[in-house]
């Protein structure tokens, strides 16, 4: 990090930054731990034109989760616009490897978070999934929301990027028929929205923290489906979750349909290596 940038961020924090250490922070932004005389601050840095909007949406999501008083999130110090891009400044949480009892607590707390509901599906504002825009227009019907606000934009993006052809993509009527046949009427739940293993921490005292949210009100199984896509969540997590929010019939069939959204996102973010996984779901469920 350049000295002038470090000084500018220090002014925003109201504390001189004595040291700055790069850390792994995902595929979208650079990340640093900033050391002041009395504290450590986690800094995410992104130079894109959408960085400020992206970080403001992330901060909004973290605060929304915190308001539920179910799961912890890092305290947000603020978003600072820079000459190139922006940065997000947050509490630094020292983490440890999860133990079974930690994941049990996490599962129970996620179930409690999912009990926060709304009379609509969506969110007050658009946000981001990775660095891709995520539309959250409000719907009073879950299936309509999932098709129009989740699948359709990603299908179109994949066609525009030439990762999919129009022949690969099911029509709206086919999507409607298949998803209606397997999705029950459900109350909306506050979702993390991008719940893979890189987006939670277990603090040294065993408390789970959520990070990098893409929040909205939707079907609770969305978070569970994403958690199962790449692994990293133990059986104790799911047992504790379902003890509070019992599994509904047909969940295993819906899981692939909900994972489709995330695989499309990965296709659009990272390219053709995700084409096969996307097509396997489309052929199994929509042909």
CATH architecture of the domain 3-91 equals 2-Layer Sandwich (3.30)
pLDDT value, residue 25: 62
Which of 7, 6, 9, 8 lies closest to 20, judged by CA?
A: 6
Residues noted as catalytic: 194
Query: Cα 188 vs. chain centroid, distance in angstroms?
Result: 17
Tell me whether residue 196 is exposed, middle or buried, using C-beta atoms within 10 angstroms of its C-beta: 0 to 12, 13 to 18, 19 or more.
middle
The pTM for the full model equals 0.95
CB 220 within 8 A of CB 258: no
- pLDDT tens-digit map of 148-203: 999 999 999 999 999 999 999 999 999 999 999 999 889 999 999 999 999 999 99
Distance CA 175, CA 180 (A): 8
- CB-based contacts of 222, cutoff 8 Å, min separation 6: 191, 193, 258, 261
CB 191, CB 220: distance < 8 Å: yes
Q: Could you tell me the pLDDT band of residue 11, with boundaries at 50, 70 and 90?
A: confident
Determine the CATH number of domain 100-285: 3.90.1200.10
Place of tokens 């901060």: 59
Burial class (CB in 10 A: 0-12, 13-18, 19+), 188: buried
Checking if the pLDDT of 26 tops 70, the result is no
CA trace torsion 241, 243, 245, 246 (10° rounding): 120
83 pLDDT above the threshold of 90: no
Per-residue model confidence (pLDDT) at position 261: 98
**Model pLDDT for residues 28-63, shown as the tens digit of each residue:** 899 999 999 889 999 999 999 999 999 999 999 999
**What is the torsion angle, in degrees rounded to the nearest 10, for the CA atoms of residue 215, residue 216, residue 217 and residue 218?**
-90
Domain with CATH 3.30.200.20 in the chain: 3-91
Q: What is the pLDDT of residue 13?
A: 86
List, for residues 248-284, the tens digit of each pLDDT value. 999 999 999 999 999 999 999 999 999 999 999 999 9
pLDDT tens-digit readout, 103-145? 999 999 999 999 999 999 999 999 999 999 999 999 999 999 9
Strand-strand pairing, 19-23 and 30-35? antiparallel
Instruction: Output the average pLDDT for the chain.
Output: 95
Using a pLDDT cut of 90, give the percent of the chain over it: 88
For CATH 3.90.1200.10, the residue range(s) in the chain are 100-285
């Amino acid at each position: 990090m350049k000295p002038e940038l470090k000084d500018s961020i220090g002014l925003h924090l109201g504390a001189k930054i004595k040291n700055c250490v790069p850390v792994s922070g995902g595929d979208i932004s650079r990340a640093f731990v900033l050391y002041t005389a009395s504290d450590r601050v986690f800094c995410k840095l992104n130079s894109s034109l959408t960085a400020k909007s992206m970080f403001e949406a992330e901060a909004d999501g973290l605060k929304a989760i915190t308001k539920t008083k179910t799961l912890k999130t890092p305290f947000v110090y603020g978003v600072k616009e820079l000459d190139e891009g922006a940065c997000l400044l947050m509490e630094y949480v020292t983490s440890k490897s999860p133990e079974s009892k930690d994941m049990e607590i996490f599962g129970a707390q996620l179930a409690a978070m999912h009990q926060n509901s709304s009379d609509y599906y969506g969110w007050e504002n658009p946000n981001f999934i990775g660095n891709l825009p995520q539309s959250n227009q409000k719907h009073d019907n879950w299936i309509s929301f999932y098709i129009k606000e989740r699948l359709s934009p990603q299908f179109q993006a994949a066609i525009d990027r030439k990762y999919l052809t129009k022949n690969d993509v099911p029509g709206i009527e086919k999507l409607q028929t298949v998803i209606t046949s397997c999705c029950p009427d459900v109350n909306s739940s506050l979702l993390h929205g991008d719940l893979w293993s890189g987006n939670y921490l277990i603090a040294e005292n065993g408390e789970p923290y959520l990070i990098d949210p893409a929040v909205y009100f939707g079907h609770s199984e969305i978070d569970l489906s994403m958690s199962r896509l790449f692994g990293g969540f133990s059986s104790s997590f799911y047992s504790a979750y379902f003890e509070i929010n019992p599994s509904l019939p047909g969940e295993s069939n819906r899981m692939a349909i909900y994972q489709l959204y995330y695989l499309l996102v990965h296709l659009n973010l990272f390219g053709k290596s995700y084409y096969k996984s996307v097509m396997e779901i489309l052929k199994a469920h929509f042909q």
